[in-house]
Amino acid sequence: MSSQRNVTASVDPYSHLQRALLRNYLHAHADILKQEAAVVSTHTTKSVSRPLGNLYTISSTDSSVGSTRPTRSTPRVGIIGAGMAGLYIGLILQSLDIDFKILEASNRVGGRLYTYRFSDSVGERRYEYYDVGAMRFPDTRFMTRTFNLMRNRGLDITLIPYHFQSDNTFRCYNGYTYPNGVPPAVAQEDQEEGQIEAQNALAENPFRASSAQTPLQYPTLAAANAVLSEILNEPRQLFVGHPMSEAITLLINGYDSYSMRTWVKHRVPQLSTSDILWLETVDKSTGWYDRGLVDTVLESLAFDWPQPPPQQGLENPIPEINWFCIDNGSSNLPEQMAGRLQGRIERGALVTKIIEEGNFMRVNYTEQPNALAAYPPNEQTDVFSAVICTVPLPRLSFMDLDGCGIMGHNYSQWSAIRQLRYGPSIKIAIRFTNPWWEHIPGRPAIIGGQSFTDLPIRTVVYPSYPPNGKNGNHVPKSPVLIVSYCWTNDAERLSALIRENGRADPCLIPLVLRDLAKVHNIELAWLKDQYDDQEDGRNYHAWSWLSDPLSAVIVYNTVYIE
């Protein structure tokens, strides 16, 4: 334990602010710890007498399972959920020598860091996996704490360069598909009479999205991306000249009344409804622009940190953002963290009720190998000084909160638990017999990156692993392809075809293969030859986070206009 504290003191990958608040509060208020109890949630907190920033008091009592009163006076904290937030809090408490226990409803850790493996994680086929949840990590200011955790805490984590963008990927809209979204040019000497005008018309309207009935001002991807960059530049520039916390406050105070759709119209009033729908199609997912502008700005910061405006007469090169993925899948990170917390995590423990009893908190939960199947019989109980709840709010709302000072005592807090909106997200992956996208007949290889379309599959993500050889020599990538990655309304539609345990309606995989062939402009029969269609479905995996009873994915701000 002491060696771990020395590492933390020199390079603190945990939030040094939250860690210091916990430590200083414990030392300064030892008498209060024996008198107060609170529920501390990563989303909402119960109002108590001594708030400390966004952190609230931790009281001091403890008991064994099944007892009715606390039996000792040292702090013991209960953490609900062994996702990344719960594990991270556990490491902080462990570094402070504070006793704790994590209750996790499922039989795995990591929450939305979830890797599905088609093969064993060792041997020649160890890269036959895909990340169902978080899969890529940009090395930006937003991610500093994450990279400190992966690099500086002694976890057995290997980072692989991730190709967020790549040459030779496709853009397919309105039935027209082009490598990199640009129609191929025809050499002037090869053009017949009348072809020059046709070539120019194609370059100006490559996807035939603009027509006499619905003319578009920005029909090319380059023009659409340029105007979108200009539209978002104003709120993004808040993060150039202000500290992070101040910039977020300014962003919320100044722009929270806008949805992305109303902000686009505000910035460029001459845009028609068709223009805005087209921008949404090539920029995000269907219905995304109905969400808050704040969401879109914050998401953009994770992918592309804003730069100061260029000074006149000086070059202002945009620094390249380095992207990484985790060798052996993103699940490796929470599994490594859980390994540092041996004996502190109880799996298969589905929390059903949180009760405040005097100076301590009681938590009721099921204790079965399959906690969901056992709900609500076979209930256990434990008592803590404080409870930190890290589960998504839909899951929190399923718990009985009558006795913990929320329901019946704090309506605004209870309403927030109910009203915060989570957006759907789905992924479908197929294990092909080979990485065929690296050798499409007549086309250069696709190495990493993404293709985009307005077909139901919307986004195709190509693997960036395994890494290249020591001399930079190319190593064929994994044959597992994320054939569909969708959000919002697009995800809702495909969710209807996704079943439990990664299985799917019989029509889903044929639909996906059809769209995949269209995006890559290849014959469907050739593509089917690359897929070993087993009756047991072992070579595909489909997942809808909307249907996961323990999770949720994207939190959306909703704009209310009065």
Three-class DSSP labels, 223-254: HHHHHHHHHHHHHHCHHHHCCHHHHHHHHHHH
Q: What is the pLDDT of residue 60?
A: 29
- Give the tokens for residue 221: 């991807």
Consecutive 10-residue averages of pLDDT for the chain (562 residues): 35 53 55 43 38 29 37 76 96 92 95 94 89 95 90 94 95 96 73 69 92 94 97 95 91 96 98 98 96 93 81 64 96 97 92 91 82 63 94 91 88 90 93 97 95 98 94 92 97 96 96 98 97 88 90 56 40
Alpha-carbon distance of 298 to 437, in angstroms, equals 33
| Angstrom distances, CA of residue 13 to CA of 5, 53, 92, 147 | 11, 20, 10, 8
Alpha-carbon distance of 15 to 290, in angstroms, equals 33
Alpha-carbon distance of 84 to 417, in angstroms, equals 20
Alpha-carbon distance of 390 to 112, in angstroms, equals 12
Note whether 359 and 61 are within 8 A (CB): yes
List 45's β-bridge partners, or say none.
40
- Give the tokens for residue 133: 């949840």
List 379's β-bridge partners, or say none.
366
DSSP H or E stretch at residue 352: strand 351-357
Domain borders along the chain are 77-111+332-419, 115-166+423-544, 184-303
DSSP H or E stretch at residue 26: helix 16-28
Q: 170 φ, ψ to 5°?
A: -115, 155
Alpha-carbon distance of 43 to 400, in angstroms, equals 17
Q: 96 φ, ψ to 5°?
A: -100, 5
404 conformational bin, left if phi > 0, alpha if psi -120 to 50, beta if neither: alpha
- Give the tokens for residue 72: 């000792």
Alpha-carbon distance of 114 to 550, in angstroms, equals 13
Q: What is the pLDDT of residue 55?
A: 28
Q: What is the pLDDT of residue 40?
A: 43
Q: Amino acid letter at 313? A: G
Note whether 257 and 249 are within 8 A (CB): no
Choose among 540, 520, 528: nearest CA to 451.
520
Where do the DSSP E strands lie in 386-499?
386-389, 421-423, 425-431, 450-453, 459-461, 480-487
Q: Does domain 115-166+423-544 have CATH number 3.90.660.10?
A: yes
Alpha-carbon distance of 386 to 227, in angstroms, equals 50
203, HSE (Cβ side, Cα atoms, 13 Å): 9
**Number of CB atoms found within 10 A of residue 211's CB:** 11
DSSP H or E stretch at residue 395: helix 393-397
Alpha-carbon distance of 201 to 199, in angstroms, equals 5
Q: What is the pLDDT of residue 561?
A: 43
Note whether 76 and 62 are within 8 A (CB): yes
254, HSE (Cβ side, Cα atoms, 13 Å): 12
Q: What is the pLDDT of residue 314?
A: 58
Choose among 235, 252, 226, 255: nearest CA to 301.
235
Topology given in CATH for the domain delimited by 77-111+332-419? FAD/NAD(P)-binding domain (3.50.50)
Alpha-carbon distance of 482 to 459, in angstroms, equals 8
Provide CB contacts within 8 A for 442, sequence distance 6+.
none
Alpha-carbon distance of 551 to 347, in angstroms, equals 16
Choose among 252, 224, 153: nearest CA to 216.
224
Note whether 104 and 90 are within 8 A (CB): no
Q: What is the pLDDT of residue 383?
A: 95
SS3 of 41, please?
strand
Q: 186 φ, ψ to 5°?
A: -105, 125
Provide CB contacts within 8 A for 360, sequence distance 6+.
37, 59, 61, 63, 70, 383, 384, 385
- Give the tokens for residue 107: 């039989």
Q: 209 φ, ψ to 5°?
A: -80, -25
Alpha-carbon distance of 542 to 500, in angstroms, equals 9
Question: Can you say whether the dihedral through the CA atoms of 192, 198, 199, 200 is positive or negative?
Answer: positive
Note whether 441 and 500 are within 8 A (CB): no
